[in-house]
Chains A and B, each alone.
Chain A
Amino acid sequence: MKDAMTSFDRLAAKPLFLCSFRSFFLATALYGVALLLGWLGFLATGIGLPEVPGGPIVWHAHELMFGFGLAAVAGFVLTAVPEFTATPAFGRRVTLALLLCWAAARLAFWLSGVLGAGGAVLAALLNSGFMAAIVVLVAPRLWRDPERRHLSFLWGLAAMWLVVGGFHADVLRGLYPMRWVLAGAGVMMVLIVVAMSRVSMRIVNDALDAERLRRAAAQGDAMAGERPRFPGEDDDELPAYRARPPRRNLAVFGIAAHTLAEFALPGSPIAGWIALAAAAAVLNLLNDWHVGRALLTRWAFMLYAVYWMMALGYGSIGLSLLGVAVAPSAGLHLLTVGAMGLSIFGVLCIAGRTHSGYELDMRPWVPVAALAIGTAALARAAAGLPGMPAAGLQAASVAAWALGYGLAAVFLGAVFLRPRPDAGTGCEEPMEEGA
């Protein structure tokens, strides 16, 4: 027992467990590649996937949403919540224990078809236990925060817990559990909107600052032929970016309403209209984002594209529910591969590097990987349009996705597996030179 504890501690002492996001983000990228390669093998040969209740599509959906997606969510909230609430980071042991719980939940679900009823119970306990642990860890900090500004994360995480529990309850009762994965996609979109509003304030305003510096430099050159300025001439002054709550709340409301309507009345045109409303509400959110050239910088544009994917996804789902000849899966994959895939990639790059003590990555692999993930989403969505070569597009989509997350695993893995390059000792952002 003591030996086990020391080897646990020795493992936890590795740089990978210095902060929760390091191990979870690496797991996200690696698992994302592995899942899709396995799925491609199954699509090509019809074999190679573990037997799980509900069949291969349930395996694909469950693991991508509740395995891949929740690993990223865990990495994000376990890093962001201490930062937002100005509380200490979660320790190495907590991180390692949670990662082991996540891995065990994966294993249990993979084996749930082989192990029979006992396996299903084990998978249910481990998967909902993992989500419960996250909620229990962050809830007190979010609640005790004086202004409780970040409670929306708590509601989102609690909803995700409910959804995971619902999925496994359906499995245990012998029902087809796919409706819970769809609900999970809705909860994930809400979490993305909430998280992006925080991340984007930083990213877009940094881009605006850079643009201001560029303009100031350009003006400095033009100062030679100086002339008096008229009042009102500085109308071109760049605005500050604010992620405004009313627009965000409308988008969250639309997404939540669609998720509930689709859950209660699957396939109903009511849910279709609400999906279109959600799409419009997400496009409405982009009002805040139209800040000119600064939007075209890589990080800002990547996050901007997430909302486009979300809007296109809900738009496509809405049209499909209202009887237009688009497969429902097309819109769903714009949400999951596009909005979820891109936003998780963005968070991996942004939070993963800055909280490891590095500046943002300006190397060319980042746009290549982001473009690959965007392409994967569009190709997968196009496979759902009538008259398209579905099999070829799906294969192209998987290849592009594997490329994007493969690059992330390689380049970010190198960051997560090594100690910090600066004098920092925890999850703080890069230390200033000489500080």
Chain B
Amino acid sequence: MRLLRAWAAGLPAYLWSGWGAIASLLLLFAAWEAVSLIYGPLVMPDPRSAFGTLLGLIESGAAWPELAATARRAMSGYALSLVAGSFLGLLAGLSMTASMMSRPLVTVLMGTPPIAWLVLAMLWFGASDGTPVFTVFVAAFPVIFIGALQGTRTLDNQLRGMAEAFRLPRRMMFTDVYLPHVVSYLFPAWIAALGTSWKVVVMAELLATQDGVGAALAASRSHLDTAATMAWIAAVVGLLLAVEYLVLEPIKREVERWREQGR
């Protein structure tokens, strides 16, 4: 409860500190505007026409179904990899042998470019939702797996010994010793994987599906409509930024503060 109160009390200050990020983004828009002035609107439309197009897409209602389809696929794949990656990673971390065995496999998974998985997925699942969902799963899984593995591998044995010496009940052992430590490794991995999912899903849709933001990007490319292309990119990046900075980053800060205080 105190954690929640501290979080709520810190929220205005946290949101206000976003002005720094906004300042950087606005400088990026200035650079974007400069590029569009130099190379002309066909190569790079200026930010205002891209945002205008995006606003038009949102107002006409054309944007939401595409964004919803993309979000559904990204979230399905992400949820699968979150469950499987966390569980298997934690499990593998418990045994030295299992973690030794799994490391090369994860390296193979990480090293295989998502586009290769996409080609396989297209062969296996065709133009269904399965293709982007699978690709997202495969891209996000190793990131979470490694995080979970590290979390259990680095558990402090001395701390466990001390907790046992004090006869800490099992439940407290779990919530006060294991959980905070493991979460402090898992959480950053979850966030990193979310970013990966969101990027990979658009790529998968571009090649494999008829709807979603990726498909809309493919259509705008074939029409040479750079304004619409930039509008879709702005929508995808904007959503990711919003989720990351409004939802995940505040939670991450709390988790990290928890870890700092635990020391």
Contacts and interface: CB of A to CB of B under 8 A. Distances in A.
A281 B47 contact: no
Interface stretch (A153-161, A271-279, A385-393): A271-279
B27 A274 contact: yes
A286 B30 CA distance: 23
A281 B33 contact: no
Secondary structure at the B interface, as helix, strand, loop or mixed, is: helix
A434 B181 CA distance: 60
A257 B24 CA distance: 12
Contacts of A284: 16-17, 19-20, 22-23
Contacts of A268: 37
Given A235-B6, A287-B13, A323-B48, A273 B19 contact: no
A235 B261 CA distance: 14
A269 interface: yes
A280 B26 contact: yes
A328 interface: no
Nearest to B6: A235
A398 to B, nearest CB: 33
A337 B166 CA distance: 68
B34 to A, nearest CB: 5
Given A269-B48, A322-B48, A274 B26 contact: yes
B17 A277 contact: no
B26 A273 contact: yes
A311 to B, nearest CB: 9
Given A235-B6, A269-B46, A323-B48, A250 B30 contact: no
Contacts of A270: 30, 33-34, 37
A286 to B, nearest CB: 7
A72 interface: no
Contacts of B24: 277
A286 B12 CA distance: 12
Contacts of B22: 277, 280, 284
A230 to B, nearest CB: 10
B33 A287 contact: no
A261 interface: yes
Interface string B52-94: 0000000000000000000000000000000000000000000
B19 A287 contact: yes
Interface size, B (range): 20 to 34
B263 interface: no
Contact of B20 (A235, A247, A271): A247
A261 B48 contact: no
B30 A274 contact: yes
B57 to A, nearest CB: 20
B33 A277 contact: no
Given A269-B33, A269-B48, A323-B48, A277 B23 contact: yes
B39 to A, nearest CB: 14
A261 B29 CA distance: 14
B171 interface: no
Contact of B23 (A235, A250, A269, A290): A250
Given A235-B6, A323-B48, A277 B19 contact: no
A187 B230 CA distance: 36
A232 B3 CA distance: 11
Interface string B76-120: 000000000000000000000000000000000000000000000
Interface in A284-322: 284, 286-287, 290, 322
Given A270-B37, A290-B16, A277 B30 contact: yes
B20 A273 contact: no
Interface string A249-266: 010001001000100000
Nearest to B5: A235
Contacts of B27: 254, 257, 273-274, 277
A283 interface: yes
Contacts of B12: 290
A323 B29 CA distance: 15
B23 A254 contact: yes
A273 B13 contact: no
B16 A286 contact: yes
Report which residue of A270, A273, A286, A287 has the largest number of chain B beta carbons within 10 angstroms of its beta carbon.
A273
Contacts of B13: 287, 290
A117 B52 CA distance: 52
Nearest to A278: B23
Contacts of A323: 48
A254 B17 CA distance: 16
Interface in B129-144: none
Interface of A: 232, 235, 247, 250, 254, 257, 261, 268-271, 273-274, 276-278, 280-281, 283-284, 286-287, 290, 322-323
Given A257-B27, A257-B30, A281-B19, 18 more contacts: A247-B20, A254-B27, A270-B30, A270-B33, A271-B30, A273-B29, A273-B30, A274-B26, A277-B27, A280-B23, A283-B19, A284-B16, A284-B17, A284-B22, A284-B23, A286-B19, A287-B20, A290-B16
11 contacts: A254-B27, A257-B27, A269-B33, A273-B29, A277-B26, A281-B19, A284-B17, A286-B16, A287-B17, A290-B12, A323-B48
Nearest 7 Cβ contacts at the A-B interface: A277-B26, A273-B30, A284-B19, A280-B23, A281-B23, A284-B20, A283-B19
